[in-house]
Structure 1
Amino acid sequence: MNKKGLNICLVDDDRIYQFTARKIIETIEEVDGVKVFSNGEEAISYLQQNSYKTEDLPDVIFLDINMPVMDGWGFLEAFSDLYKKLGKLVTVFMVSSSVDESDIRRSKEFGMVSRYVNKPVSREKFEDLLKTITDTHKQQ
């Protein structure tokens, strides 16, 4: 991996969670920047507009399930098509307060979803998740 850190995308409609998660993520050494979107449609629009600029694409997306306009499932369906066209590996972590087994099973149907993570997410959990990404990049 080069000296540049990870670009993170946080997709969640909860403003308090956005604020706290962003502040935590920004303090993690491996992170270069964090973009925040309040629903899946905003995030998909950004990704489509920047699909040809790999340096602007996220390395990691933390995605909530329940959001207005376009929820996490709608995002994943739209992102499935876009994902194949990106010139960059993007890892998605589903982050939700839902402990419903059907949500966990459904998240596994999307190949780009690396893991299902229950809220709240601690600093240590964010660090562990991001470490798996930086370790993978170092091996490439």
Structure 2
Amino acid sequence: METVCIIDDDKIHHFTIEKTIKLQGLSKHLLSFHDGLEAIEFFNENLNNTNILPDVIFLDLNMPVINGWQFLKQYATFKAKISKRIRIYVVSSSINESEISRAIAIDDVSGYLEKPLRPEEIRQVFLNHN
């Protein structure tokens, strides 16, 4: 995968994913956003530039400004303008079954991962992408 995007306000989570990806050479580029608004602004500015858009997004649900649910709602409004498939993995510390069911019922969501992510879970996302 060329580019991976992390949308999460948890700095430790960012560090863990970034370190795993770099150490294992899983991706060439990392995009990092600390709330959904930053990510939405980036997408709106780069809808036609598929070279820098991510192949995979690791999306937290509970964030300030714009949370993961709001990001998914906004993403659905502009995804048709993106000429590449982007897989979104919801990443959350919640083990609430209704929240998990709600997340995986969204067409744009490829999977639900529980925090903290282990390196083998991150590798599995990359293996499933190929």
TM-score with structure 2 length normalisation?
0.95
Structure 1 counterpart of 2:29, from 33, 39, 55: 33
Decide whether the 8 Å contact of 1:26 with 1:33 is kept in 2: no
Count how many residue pairs are aligned between Structure 1 and Structure 2.
130
1:92 corresponds in structure 2 to 88
Percentage identity across paired residues of the two chains: 37
Question: What amino acid is the match of 2:24?
Answer: I
1:21 corresponds in structure 2 to 17
Question: What amino acid is the match of 2:125?
Answer: L
Structure 2 counterpart of 1:74, from 70, 79, 91: 70
1:34 is displaced (CA, Å) by 0.8
Decide whether the 8 Å contact of 1:40 with 1:70 is kept in 2: yes
Cα deviation, 1:7-36, whole Å, max 9, x if unaligned, reads 000000011211222111222333111111
Question: What amino acid is the match of 1:33?
Answer: H
Q: Measure, in 2, the Cα distance between the counterparts of 1:58 and 1:28.
A: 18
Structure 2 counterpart of 1:6, from 2, 5, 10: 2
Question: What amino acid is the match of 2:98?
Answer: S
Q: State yes or no: 1:54 paired with 2:50.
A: yes
1:98 is displaced (CA, Å) by 0.3
Q: Measure, in 1, the Cα distance between the counterparts of 2:29 and 2:23.
A: 10
Q: CA RMSD in A?
A: 1.0
1:64 is displaced (CA, Å) by 0.3
Gaps in structure 2 of 5+ consecutive residues? none
Q: Measure, in 2, the Cα distance between the counterparts of 1:27 and 1:92.
A: 22
Q: Measure, in 2, the Cα distance between the counterparts of 1:20 and 1:40.
A: 19
Decide whether the 8 Å contact of 1:96 with 1:119 is kept in 2: yes
Question: What amino acid is the match of 2:75?
Answer: F
Gaps in structure 1 of 5+ consecutive residues? 136-140
Question: What amino acid is the match of 2:31?
Answer: K
TM-score with structure 1 length normalisation?
0.89
